[in-house]
Structure 1
Amino acid sequence: MNINTGTLGWIRTLQELRAVLHLFATEHRKQAWLGAGVAALTVLSGMALLGLSGWFITATAIAGLNVALAFAFDVFMPSAGIRLLAMGRTGLRYAERLVTHDTTLSVLARLRVRLFRGWAQPQAARRLLARPAQILFRLTTDIDALDSVYLRIMVPMLSAMVAAVVTGIALAFIQPWLGLAITVWLLVSGLGIAVVVAWRARHIARLRYHALEALRARSIDLVSGQGELLMHGQLQMQCEKLRAADARIAEADDALNHLESLSGMAYVIAGAAMLCGTLLTVAALVEQGNIDTPVAALALLLVLTATEPFAALRRGSLEWGRTLLAAKRLANRIDQPLDQLLALPPSDSRLAIDLREVDVHPDDSEGVHRPYLQHLSLSIQIGERVALIGHSGAGKSTLMALIAGELSALRGQRAVVPHTMLNQRTELFQDSVRDNLLLADPHADDPLLWRVLAVAGLAETVAAMPQGLHSRLGEGGFGLSGGQARRLALARVLLRDVPLWLLDEPTEGLDQRTAKDVLTRLQQALAENKSRTILMATHVRREAELADRIVRMHRGVIVADVRRGDPLFDALLASLRSD
């Protein structure tokens, strides 16, 4: 039962690391093998350097005791070999660091790309935005934890195994059973200690990882929510939680440091036992006349250096737990194919949106609860201006999120042309005005940026800034008023040359004068392109007046769909807020 459980555990571990190992095995296979090979050569050159140096020093000392031997002894070839190995080892060490780190950074870069693709999947962003500290942790610590897979586990393990085999082969020329015994001892003790350390450190490393995540999340909550915590009398409690997380990290660090010390001692004891055994063996062989003293020195120094690559596994063993946890967390996101993220265009070229018998639940419960949108069908032709109305909770935002691809349908068909969306919340970044606009079109030049700013009514404001387009905004667009931030978001929408615009309450939160100006400029932009389609979720009459068709929703169902000129159209328009 225990064997089966252990086997299942190893299988589960390999499955968790599959996505990471796949990148090394496919896209970076040659580079990964090159790095591992150079690392193995570095270890072998170090062993050869120390072994040859020991042999040379011993042989020179013995030759110096006899004049005839001193004149006959060739000092040039061994010394040249030592210089060559010394320079070669230095160059190989540099090449090893260069290739292995470049490989690791390349793989981590690919992982970040795949992680972003995973977040682009429906529902993923919603779930992660509920816990923003988790996003930061996934992008930094979780990804960085995976560098141990190659740098501290795969490469040192291969180098250690090569060192063990080569040492055994070299000693087999002295005594075959000695070479076999040394190889077996190195593999069993060296890898065995690493496995035991990894097993014992796994739980501790995971606890430290969770505590570190809690510390970061609580720190963010403390900094961003000081006012609310103070008003509710929870500031001291939040500080206590922060101290508790820090104490758990310190406790885990102490346990890991203790385990590292024990593993170091275990490697020292294993190496000393092997060295003592080798010393006794070669001493007996020297006494029997089977080998000479310089060869005995060579054997001892080879055995001494053969344990060093195994000691390099200690750090990877200690980090094995957090590496597995990071791989488990990211596995579902880093293996998503890109073509799943693309919405198919409608089969009818006259349609911009084509929804047929769609069922949607915002929390992606996969049918466990009653779907919020049931058997919903909606077709919008290219060039139509449609207002989506209904009371709060009617399903407007859910429908907009479905069309935008932020939600996936439980059932039914969804086909949408390329589109852009203006959310209720204005998303601006701590960057320049120019770079905030270039998110919509990275290839836009400055004249085009000034043109869309003018259409959005923000050109004069930006021109008055000290650095114009290069003026930096604070976090969340700090430095702009709510109306100016909304205009900048609208300019970003105008910059997107796509056939469909999705606007979710575009003037919400703006004063009447600013809202009227934004809508006037939006109407002017629409007049310049009659083929552009608009779907606008709204509660206010001034926004719905831009539409030539009104769709009314109630409890996730479309209850009215009328066009301008129908008496019901004016009645629905009159039912909206006039402000």
Structure 2
Amino acid sequence: MSTARKDRVSLILRPFLATQPRALLLGALLAAITVLTGMALLGLSGWFITATALAGANVATAFMFDVFMPSAGIRLLAVGRTASRYGERLVTHDATFAVLAALRVQLFRGWARAGAARELLMRPSRVLFRLTSDIDALESLYLRLVVPAMAALGAAVLAGVVLGFMHIGLGIALAVWLVASGWGIAFVVARRARRPSVQRAHAIEVLRARAVDLVAGQSDLIMAGRIDAQRAALADADRRLAAADLALNRLEANAGAAYGMAGTISLVAVLLAVGVLVGEGRIGAPAAALALLVALTAVEPFAAMRRGALDAGRTWLAVRRLAPRMALDDMQSKPFTSGSIAPSAPSAPTASSESVGAALSNAPASLTSGIALRFHEITAAPSRAGSDVLHGVSLRIDVGERVALIGPSGAGKSTLLAIAAGELTPRSGTAVMLPACLLTQRTELFQDSLRDNLRLADPSADDARLWHALEAAGLAPDIRTAAAGLDMRLGEGGLGLSGGQSRRLALARLLLRPTDFWLLDEPTEALDTEIARDVLQRLAQHAGPRTVLIATHLRREAALADRLVRMEAGHIVADLRRGTPGFEAALRALRPD
């Protein structure tokens, strides 16, 4: 296994071992005990039945034969097998679910790193697939591979020990054969199933994406004359999925046949061997029955690895996809060529839930008192593979300043704001800033109560604080008219609120968020003039001594600032302060309300 593959596997196994190590080990041990008690139960029952039949053939031996100890052992094994099976299912599944929950938390934190959230916004379906199907695929790593493998190993050891008491060579040969054939078949199946299982995983993603596009965009597709093409693409994805399923079904059938043949060979070989031993008088008929029944059941635990082997390809694909975002310590961005930025520590959701703006958990020593933001020769791109949008940008904003970034679309305003929010890591240069909160023109609301949507900004806020924030945002009168008040349920995406009400709710969350640095990205875009002016007035009123950085192309928004920073083609071309002729000219040149 290459070093890169080992690193990926270690990133996934680390949470497994760190989250529930004792429970995982106990679950595997209970699985092995279940298999061993089952084998012992069947073997002892066969020995007891055979020995009883032979003892009953003679009156003298019938009175001498002890039926109580074997029957008690059979009852004990039956009860023990039931208890261990129940415990195994309970412990293994509980531990697996706990580990998967921990993996989801780590994945969320990974996607909260600088730049990751912006990449997700380009293809949002990925986060759903990673958090559901890919995480779920990892359960096979433990439940269908590790646990059956340990149980099968225990079965091989027990079979070898039992037959070793009859003939040591026979016991060693059976144990080696069981491990070689059982694990060997699983290995071959895993190798052959890798490609179709990966193809199946990709086909499911494509099928879901194309089905969603067909349903959600059918009007646009019809207008563009592409509805038939989309249907054909959906049918093609379905055919690919069916082909992968067929290949996996064939492999499963072949694996079942292979395990059946291995079991038959084992049984025939043991039958011939114990027949020779019985003929030589080295063992009796009851011992021969015991050996046969143990050999019969020893292959069954290996057959349980078949499902895990078939899922191994899907599991490996999930490991390859998830590993880069799993461990926070392993997800550091590429170092800058001339300086560094402290890593963004994940924080609670921002006031508008559009992004997390905690660039630094504590202001770095290089950020002297009185400075809110300092960029030096920043070069950055909005995506990892994209071309640079910012070129050698340097900017300083003092605490309490209100600065507006202006310039044409594509000048780099939003990219600069994303760096200030900690969402994006520059490719080069030095960037240090105070913790910030970003409010964008897009308000993310969730299908939940109004109270819980507000508490995304501050989970500890009581109802009095929530009402105060709603009053400050101008939304309280509308909420009071609703019978449910703060318990009012919002639909998906904030259904039930108008565009203006949604923006005011975002403003209320901004006010609840305890930060002294506000980042505003066209906060009144697409609002009518009256609502926009009211929102801006409230922003200006409640900003107080906070530092404000706003990206805009509207005159009404830029009027909040005391300083205009004009950007063109990724460069800062002008830095104008209120009271200068250039400031007023730049303000008049912006798009009017």
TM-score (norm 1): 0.94
* Structure 1 position 508, deviation (Å): 0.8
Task: Write the distance in 1 (CA, Å) between the matches of 2:507 and 2:270.
Answer: 78
Letter in 2 for 1:363: S
The answer on 1:441 being equivalent to 2:455 is no
**C-alpha separation between the residues in 1 aligned to 2:30 and 2:6?**
26
Give the one of 493, 497, 514 matched to 2:510. Answer: 493
**CA 1:388–1:12: 2 relative to 1, 3 Å:** closer
Which residue, out of 544, 558, 577, partners 1:563?
A: 577
Structure 2 residue aligned with 1:553:
567
More divergent stretch after superposition (539-548 vs 339-348): 339-348
- Taking a change above 3 Å as real, the CA distance of residues 164 and 12 of structure 1, as seen in their structure-2 partners, is farther
In 1: Cα distance, 2:553 partner to 2:233 partner: 43
What does residue range 101-180 of structure 1 map to in structure 2 within 5 Å? Answer: 101-180=93-172
Residue of 340, 344, 347 corresponding to 1:341: 344
Contact 1:16 1:324 in 2 (8 A): no
- How many Å apart are 1:14 and its aligned residue? 3.9
> Which of 12-21 and 191-200 deviates more?
12-21
Deviation at 1:238, TM superposition (A): 1.3
Q: Which moved more, 1:347-356 or 1:319-328?
A: 347-356
Q: Given the alignment, which residue of 235, 241, 244 partners 2:236?
A: 244
Matched position secondary structure for 2:343: helix
Q: CA deviation at 1:372?
A: 2.4
- 1 CA distance for matches of 2:535 and 2:487? 24
| Residue pair 1:133, 1:216 contacting (<8 A) in 2 also | no
1:217 and 1:116 map into 2 onto residues whose CA distance is 22
Change (3 A) 1:12 1:553: closer
**Deviation string, structure 1 residues 287-309 (Cα, Å, up to 9, x no partner):** 22111111111111111111111
- Measured in 2, the distance between the counterparts of 1:140 and 1:418 equals 32
Offset of residue 451 of structure 1: 1.1
Distance 2:5 2:182 in 1: 21
- In structure 2, C-alpha distance between the alignment counterparts of 1:134 and 1:149, rounded to whole Å: 22
Note if contact 1:201-1:256 (Cα within 8 Å) is conserved in structure 2. Answer: yes
Query: 1:193 and 2:210 equivalent?
Result: no
> Which residue is 1:578 aligned to?
592
Describe how 1:245-260 pairs up with structure 2 within 5 A.
245-260=237-252
State how far apart, in whole Å, the 1-side matches of 2:43 and 2:56 are.
Answer: 20
Write the distance in 2 (CA, Å) between the matches of 1:261 and 1:12.
33
Cα distance between partner residues in 2 of 1:340 and 1:47: 55
**Within 1, Cα distance between the matches of 2:553 and 2:442?**
16
The corresponding residue for 1:270 is 262
Q: What is the total number of aligned residue pairs between the two structures?
A: 565
Tell me the CA shift for residue 13 of structure 1.
4.6
Alignment of 1:337-376 (within 5 A): 337=329, 340-342=343-345, 343-344=359-360, 345-346=363-364, 347-365=367-385, 369=387, 371-376=388-393
SS in structure 2 at match of 1:379: strand
* 1:257-406 matches, cutoff 5 A: 257-337=249-329, 340-342=343-345, 343-344=359-360, 345-346=363-364, 347-365=367-385, 369=387, 371-406=388-423
1:463 corresponds in structure 2 to 480
For residue 90 of structure 2, the aligned residue among 88, 98, 107 is 98
- For structure 1, which segment, 336-345 or 183-192, has the greater mean C-alpha deviation from structure 2 after superposition? 336-345
SS at match of 1:476: coil
After superposition, what is the alpha-carbon deviation per residue over 1:292-349, rounded to whole angstroms, capped at 9, x for unaligned?
Answer: 1111111111111111110000000111111111111111111233883333424212
Describe the shift of the 1:103–1:303 C-alpha distance in structure 2 as closer, same or farther (beyond 3 A): same
Inter-partner Cα distance in structure 2 for 1:513 and 1:228: 33
Identical pairs, percent: 57
Q: 2:194 aligns with which of 182, 188, 202?
A: 202
Alpha-carbon deviation of 1:423? 1.1
Structure 1 residue 133, shift from structure 2 partner: 2.1
| Amino acid corresponding to residue 551 of structure 1 in structure 2 | V
Determine if the alignment matches structure 1 residue 480 to structure 2 residue 497. Answer: yes
| Aligned-residue offset at 1:12 | 5.6
In structure 1, distance between residues paired with 2:216 and 2:483:
29
Q: Is the 8 A contact 2:8 2:324 kept in 1?
A: no
Separation (CA, whole Å) in 1 of partners of 2:438 and 2:154: 57
| Runs of 4+ displaced beyond 6 Å | none
Structure 1 residue 126: Cα displacement: 2.2
5+ residue gaps in structure 2? 332-341, 346-358
Task: Name whichever of 377-386 and 511-520 sits farther off.
Answer: 377-386
Change (3 A) 1:496 1:212: same
C-alpha deviation, 1:121, in angstroms: 2.0
Counterpart secondary structure, 2:493: helix
Q: CA deviation at 1:526?
A: 2.1
- The alignment partner of 1:340 has SS state of coil
Distance 1:340 1:292, change over 3 A: farther
- Alignment TM-score, normalising by the size of structure 2: 0.92
Worse-matched range after superposition: 70-79 or 15-24: 15-24
Is it true that 1:543 corresponds to 2:557 in the alignment?
Answer: yes
2:19–2:98 contact (8 Å) kept in structure 1? no
Q: Deviations over 1:29-68 (max 9, x none)?
A: 3222222111111111111111111111111121222222
In the alignment, what sits opposite 2:39? 47
Greater displacement, 126-135 / 378-387: 126-135
> Which segments of 5 or more consecutive residues in structure 1 lack a partner in the other structure?
1-6
- 1:173 counterpart SS class: helix
Counterpart contact for 1:194–1:314, Cα < 8 Å = yes
Q: Measure the CA separation in 1 of the matches of 2:578 and 2:119.
A: 39
Listed one character per residue, the Cα deviations across residues 362-381 of structure 1 (whole Å, up to 9, x for unaligned) are 23348xx5x32222221212
CA deviations on 1:224-253 (whole Å, 9 max, x unpaired) are: 211111111111221222122122222222
Q: Which amino acid aligns with 2:43?
A: G
The 3-state SS of whatever aligns with 1:352 is strand
Partners of 1:578 and 1:211 in 2: CA distance: 49
Matched-pair contact (CA < 8 Å) for 2:19–2:102 = no
State the one-letter code of the partner of 1:360: A
**Partners of 2:537 and 2:14 in 1: how far apart?**
54
Q: Distance in 1 between matches of 2:505 and 2:561?
A: 23
Q: Deviations over 1:87-112 (max 9, x none)?
A: 11111111111121122112211211
8 Å contact 2:420–2:436 — kept in the other structure?
Answer: no
1:133–1:16 CA distance, 2 compared to 1 (3 A): same
Q: Distance in 1 between matches of 2:18 and 2:442?
A: 41
1:464, CA displacement in angstroms? Answer: 2.0
CA-CA distance at 1:414 after TM superposition: 1.3
The 3 A distance-change label for structure 1 pair 520 and 340 is closer
Alpha-carbon distance change, 458 to 410 in structure 1, aligned in 2, over 3 angstroms: same
